[in-house]
Amino acid sequence: MDKHEEVLIALRQIIRAIDLHSRKLNKNAGLTGPQLVLMRAIKASGEEVTIRQLSNNTNMSQATATTILDRLEKRGLVVRQRSQLDKRKVHAHLTEDGLALLEKAPLPLQDSFISQYQELDDWEQSLLLSSVQRISTMMNAEHLDVAPLLEVGSITQQEKTKSELEE
């Protein structure tokens, strides 16, 4: 087998692993990866987290975070409340159902990746980063604005698709 074929197989295996994890997450917890990441960010941020802060903490656009929060709120997992101190700000909070679901939900795939990646020596981390960035450039994908989520497809598209299936 040629080396380029081996690289393409490895890329396909990565894509497949992400897809399988996403399906498992959806089946076991009824959540998408971005929903789980946003809920974990709400919990980690405490009681007074704004949509802007969530957007920054998760590297999602405010529009994407708002769309995801709409879905979570519709399911009774999150509530949004206007700040008592500054009426321009809206804070997101997990409901009891949201906290319960979050407790039993598996960790996002990137958490496992991050812990293993951080165990590598600095030179090996740099080598992998350089290689993956080169592959991104070779696929004309370096200009795409994406969040560091190991999830298949567009965050907003997945949310739209999920909501369309629910309706």
pLDDT tens digit sequence for 90-110 = 888 999 999 999 888 877 777
Is residue 57 within 8 A of residue 65, CB to CB? The reply is no
Q: What percent of the chain has pLDDT over 90?
A: 36
Question: Measured between alpha carbons, how far is 135 from 132 in angstroms, rounded to an integer?
Answer: 5
Q: By mean pLDDT, which of 9-13, 67-71, 140-144, 145-149 is the weakest?
A: 145-149
Give pTM, 2 decimals.
0.69
Please report where in the chains the tokens 């704004």 appear, as a residue: 50
What is the architecture, at CATH level 2, of domain 3-106+150-166? Answer: Orthogonal Bundle (1.10)
If we measure between CA atoms, which residue out of 141, 115, 161, 116 comes closest to residue 11?
A: 141
